[in-house]
Structure 1
Amino acid sequence: MTAFDAGELVGELEVTFDVDVLVGAYPDRDGPPGTPDSVLAALAGHRVGAGAVASLRAALFDVRSGNDEVLTLRGAPENSEGDGGGEHDDGTGTGAVDVVPVGTVDLRDPIGAVREIDRLEPLGVRAIRLFPDEQGVEAGFPSVRHVARRAAASGLVVLTGGDVRRFWQPFSGLDAKVVFLDTHFYHLGDFLVAAADEPGFHTSTRLLNSPDALETVPADRLVFGSRTPHYEPIVPLLRLATSGLTPDEVAAVAGGNARRLFG
């Protein structure tokens, strides 16, 4: 009996932009330490060329110091007038990963959240990440709509967790650019209905692992997300590599769509 070889099935697939990368650890659960070097080495080991990186420290403990840690991964903040990313030598000999810093805000403090966006935007940050589940925030809280309006006004990309069946609502009607990171294939119909009227709505591929999930979504609304290192990246890689999408569609999902969103 031949052993299952996921790597062989993934083949030569290369992801040029992963929108769901975290540094840091959850203090209340088992898991990897999420040190920057180990995270970026893991991405490089799976042939991921760039990652939108956010900080669990910023989400769970201290927004400013966590965001500043992420900014240092692409080089000094004062050098941010460039393309917003910087190559990071992962030390493994497998290549470099381009780090695109993502700012995290605390939805429990809507005034402070907007103040943090105001601080990060001149530093070249083009995306913010929301952690509603970790912060105990519901979609109907005024803070979510407040932050959504601020992000949309500047054309920032919002990467948000939470149940898409609820979290689409605070972004509706704003011409917002949003990636729903936790869209489960059970809820895919709800995403499609919501996204029909919102051209800026996109979904991560991470939990779309049913046989026809990727093929059901318009390819220009799909972006690759792995949640490295707190999810096994081979799962979304394998699903994308074995999908029924055309080569051009695979390339778009593997990074082209995300680069278009981030500008």
Structure 2
Amino acid sequence: MLLASLLLSLSGLVRAADPTPVFDVHVHIWEGEKSVKEYLAQVAADGQQVTRFGGIHMAVLGKVAETRSKNDELVALSKRYPMIPIASVHPYDGDAAFAELERLAALGVRAIKLHPHTQKFDAADERVLAVCKRAGELGLVVLMDNANILPGDNQKLFNLALATPQTHFIFTHLGALEFRFWNILPLARTAKGLMEDNIHFDIAGTVVLAADSPLEEEFVWTMRNVGIDNLLLGSDFPQLSLKKGADALDRLGLTEEEKRKIRWGNAERLLLKERPKSVP
């Protein structure tokens, strides 16, 4: 009996030491399988447990064949690793961008990444609106950079989401150090018919800056205002490690249930559940 009690106690210690699972939605796959292996090696060395991770590519304007090839590479890698392919198009590639969206949806891809600064487009451009609208019709979630590198970033993305209510967006970095803007959401939700529940965020990078800073309390207030159910954890590898983001999240004083949702629950609901398509 004493031995059994001791073994039970030891097993409890082992379970307590187990890493908390994370769905990392923000991993840049710059160099194909090499990037995937480097990411997984870093995660293992840091003692992190990843249930899934989002492998990101960003299309270059005019390089349609390269875009298709890189998207296919992500799809292939997702069959060998616990990765979901977050593919890409360039909104200024016209019909080629729409054709690629159709192809990606047929392949079972569930998300794309767009980045106004890196891809050099204006988020307020009608071509961006058209691509995002079509992505939503095809059941694709749109990740869009929201680090406020470009002027008017928050306002443009907010209006883009209002104009495409069927499309679910993950605005990455939660506005970075301009996160205050997003406290408009609780008020916007009270305006009848103004918006759908289609705005979500990852907190990649920004959570690392906010934890233990003079902004921490306001950042946590913002997280709760935009809705814990709308927040996802991302590393922004290779720029930052998953451990940095996960450790920073732990220091914010959130409840265990809030952290569970941000670490993996919200991402699984948003990115692993097939979204309905409204048009063939």
TM-score grouping bracket, smaller chain normalisation: 0.7 to 0.9
Instruction: Quote the Cα distance in structure 2 between the aligned partners of 1:13 and 1:185.
Output: 27
TM-aligned CA distance change 1:153 to 1:104, over 3 Å: same
Aligned residues between the structures: 225
2:257 matched to 1:248? yes
Match of 1:237 in 2: 246
TM-aligned CA distance change 1:70 to 1:185, over 3 Å: closer
- The structure 2 residue matched to 1:99, chosen from 57, 80, 83, is 83
Instruction: Quote the Cα distance in structure 1 between the aligned partners of 2:34 and 2:170.
Output: 22
User: Which letter maps to 2:92?
Assistant: R
Match of 2:150 in 1: none
User: Which letter maps to 2:112?
Assistant: I
2:91–2:128 CA contact under 8 A, matched in 1: yes
Q: TM-score, normalised by structure 1?
A: 0.77
3-state SS of 2:84 partner: strand
Match of 1:51 in 2: 53
Match of 2:200 in 1: 202
- The structure 2 residue matched to 1:171, chosen from 157, 161, 164, is 161
- Which residues in structure 2 correspond to 1:68-217 (within 5 Å)? 68-75=72-79, 88=81, 98-162=82-146, 163-173=153-163, 174-194=165-185, 196=189, 197-206=195-204, 207-208=206-207, 209-210=209-210, 211-212=216-217, 213-217=219-223
1:30-52 CA-partner distances (Å, limit 9, x unpaired)? xxx96222123234443222101
TM-aligned CA distance change 1:246 to 1:172, over 3 Å: same
1:104-153 CA-partner distances (Å, limit 9, x unpaired)? 11122132211111011111101111122111101111121011111121
TM-aligned CA distance change 1:229 to 1:34, over 3 Å: farther
3-state SS of 1:137 partner: coil
2:29 matched to 1:23? yes
Q: Which has the higher helix share?
A: 2
Match of 1:42 in 2: 42
Q: TM-score, normalised by structure 2?
A: 0.72
Q: Which ranges in structure 2 are unaligned for 5 or more consecutive residues?
A: 1-16, 147-152, 190-194, 211-215, 274-280
User: Which letter maps to 1:36?
Assistant: V
Q: Give aligned-pair identity as a percent.
A: 28
Q: How far is the alpha carbon of 1:59 from its aligned partner?
A: 4.5
Instruction: Quote the Cα distance in structure 1 between the aligned partners of 2:86 and 2:44.
Output: 19
3-state SS of 1:227 partner: coil
1:103–1:117 CA contact under 8 A, matched in 2: no
TM-aligned CA distance change 1:189 to 1:126, over 3 Å: same
TM-aligned CA distance change 1:69 to 1:256, over 3 Å: same
Q: Which ranges in structure 1 are unaligned for 5 or more consecutive residues?
A: 1-10, 26-32, 76-85, 89-97
3-state SS of 1:125 partner: coil
3-state SS of 1:159 partner: strand
Instruction: Quote the Cα distance in structure 1 between the aligned partners of 2:60 and 2:202.
Output: 20
Instruction: Quote the Cα distance in structure 1 between the aligned partners of 2:228 and 2:238.
Output: 25
2:266 matched to 1:257? yes
Instruction: Quote the Cα distance in structure 2 between the aligned partners of 1:147 and 1:164.
Output: 19
Instruction: Quote the Cα distance in structure 2 between the aligned partners of 1:158 and 1:44.
Output: 29
1:49-72 CA-partner distances (Å, limit 9, x unpaired)? 21011125x447521111111111
User: Which letter maps to 1:202?
Assistant: H
Q: How far is the alpha carbon of 1:170 from its aligned partner?
A: 1.8
CA RMSD of aligned residues (A): 2.3
Q: How far is the alpha carbon of 1:13 from its aligned partner?
A: 5.1
Q: How far is the alpha carbon of 1:175 from its aligned partner?
A: 3.0
User: Which letter maps to 1:183?
Assistant: L
User: Which letter maps to 1:54?
Assistant: I
